[in-house]
Structure 1
Amino acid sequence: MTMNPADAMPFSKLMGVRVTAASAEAVEGEITVREDLCTAGGIMHGGAIMAFADALGAVGAVASLPDGAGGTTTIESKTNFLGAAPVGSTVKGRSLPLKSGRRMSVWQTMIETAEGKPVAVVIQTQLVL
């Protein structure tokens, strides 16, 4: 992969989301937990975790668009927080499609530390535009 697909989304680029693999079957990525992505306690903010997962699911949704579709937008997202990611660590995500269709797709993203400890699981629904 030559271009980082997350760079097409300005907020994801600002956060430092790096997509390491992308297809209609799976998307993988990582992000370094910077201080400006943290809560006062020095752990990755829940909103940053959700935004990271949303970016990975969006890349997958775009990769699985039917012919002639104009893009996607998130219409629902649910997150379960499972553990902390401290400042300075690398967080990895893997997003898999639960459903891909003409009108919508549903993606589940597992977020974990580089050591494999769970941070969150996110399920999002993407509307095909």
Structure 2
Amino acid sequence: MTQTPDLDAIARNQPPFARYLGIKVVSATPDEVVAELHVSPDLLNRNGTLHGGAVMAICDNMGGTATFLNLKPGQSTVTVESKTNFLRAIPAGDTITCTSTPLHKGRKTQIWQTTVRRSDGKTAAIVTQTQMVLDDPKF
């Protein structure tokens, strides 16, 4: 039995790092999580575009959130692998949309693909990550 997604609770209960980055979850179901992020000056690289590490961090958070929506009570998740393809730069001041969809939802692992789109609709990055499902009574 999966948990029933509650968008308000998901948005409210993002980890501190996700809140620091400014991630805003706009929709969430067990098969798709969508978030937006405004590219603030604090997230730029030396070229004046969104830092690649910020892209990876956003997508890692998205995959973890998506996996969380598919866990049973008492389970948690951790990222065990992540691969990023950077396709184009994201300029300062832009707002990106990140959409996570499942490639595999198994009992022990889940694989999520997050597509990062700029406000002009062009794909800027694609991240594929593997989440391990943890069975631990402390959760």
TM-score, length of structure 2 as denominator length: 0.87
Moved over 6 A (4+): none
Consecutive unaligned residues in structure 1, runs of 5 or more: none
Structure 2 residue aligned with 1:47: 53
Rg comparison, structure with higher value: 2
Structure 1 residue aligned with 2:20: 14
C-alpha contact 1:91 1:111 (8 A) present in aligned 2: yes
Name whichever of 42-51 and 67-76 sits farther off. Answer: 67-76
Structure 2 residue aligned with 1:86: 91
Q: State the shift of 1:6 in Å.
A: 6.8
Q: State the shift of 1:4 in Å.
A: 4.5
Consecutive unaligned residues in structure 2, runs of 5 or more: 1-6, 135-139
1:1-129 equivalent positions in 2, closer than 5 A = 1-5=7-11, 7-65=13-71, 67-129=72-134
**CA-to-aligned-CA distance 1:13-53 (integer Å, 9 cap, x gap):** 10000111111110001100011111011100000001111
Q: State the shift of 1:88 in Å.
A: 0.6
**CA-to-aligned-CA distance 1:62-113 (integer Å, 9 cap, x gap):** 0011x24421010100000001111111011100010111111000000010
Structure 2 Cα separation of the partners of residues 28 and 115 of structure 1: 17
Q: Secondary structure at the match of 1:60?
A: helix
Would you say how many aligned residue pairs link Structure 1 and Structure 2?
128
Q: Secondary structure at the match of 1:2?
A: helix
Q: State the shift of 1:115 in Å.
A: 1.4
Amino-acid identity (%): 39
Alpha carbons of structure 1 residues 4 and 70: separation in structure 2 relative to 1, 3 Å: closer
